[in-house]
Amino acid sequence: MKFIKYIYSGLLSIFNYPYIPKELLENLKGPILLHISDTPVDIYKYIFRIVEKLKPQIIVHTGDLVDNIKLEKYKDKIIQYHKGVAKLIEGLEKNEETKIYYALGNHDEYEIISKLTRRGIILEEGLITIDNYNIKICHYYKKCKDNVDFSLYGHSFAPRHYIEENTLGLNGILNINVIDLSSGEIYHLDYPIGTNRARLMELRRVSL
């Protein structure tokens, strides 16, 4: 059964349709926090469809909004980056009820994002409190090592998700992370097939 679900979800992702388990949709009570990171343009439609289905109250993006363009290295690609950011922000900010946080990555440009966002909150790193949970938001794990309830980060495949003392760390490169803030339950959704190739990254084995 698990194998059939794996094949089914893989086929859906090829066509930019996410597989969201029925039990997840039935169990979510909300408010819902959706955490994504290092998103190439090719997966935007996939992300937007997840947002449409889950209708999260909070979206946290932990940086590199247009991850197929390594802007830190290739400044001449600023026009393509601008177009990508505009498309992503338009899709994420479509629902007026959703609160959105952008933690800037090394391949992001503050001036462009600040001009395009209508109501997103832009951070280099930051601590937010939602429903009595303290949540640290950073692009880099090393800047996110505070003693908080949730630590949300991206940038690298390591470290993976972790539990350390009272902190639950979630890496937004590995999965699309869904937090049900009514219960603290965590759900992981897969990025579509080919995401790491679109990021221009290769998944290497890393120790837990």
Taking only the tens place, the pLDDT of each residue in 60-80 is 999 999 999 999 999 999 999
**Residue type at 47?**
I
The contacts of residue 160 (CB under 8 Å, 6+ apart) are: 171, 174, 206, 208
Beta bridge partners of 123: 103
Q: Is 93 exposed, middle or buried, given 0-12, 13-18 or 19+ CB atoms closer than 10 A?
A: middle
Q: Mean pLDDT across the stretch 19-34?
A: 91
Beta bridge partners of 27: none
Q: How many CB atoms lie within 10 A of CB 129?
A: 10
Angstrom distance (rounded) from CA 201 to CA 173 = 11
Report the pLDDT value the prediction gives residue 125, as an integer from 0 to 100: 87
| Structural domains of the chain ordered from first start | 2-198 (3.60.21.10)
Taking only the tens place, the pLDDT of each residue in 36-65 is 999 999 999 999 999 999 999 999 999 999
Report the pLDDT value the prediction gives residue 189, as an integer from 0 to 100: 96
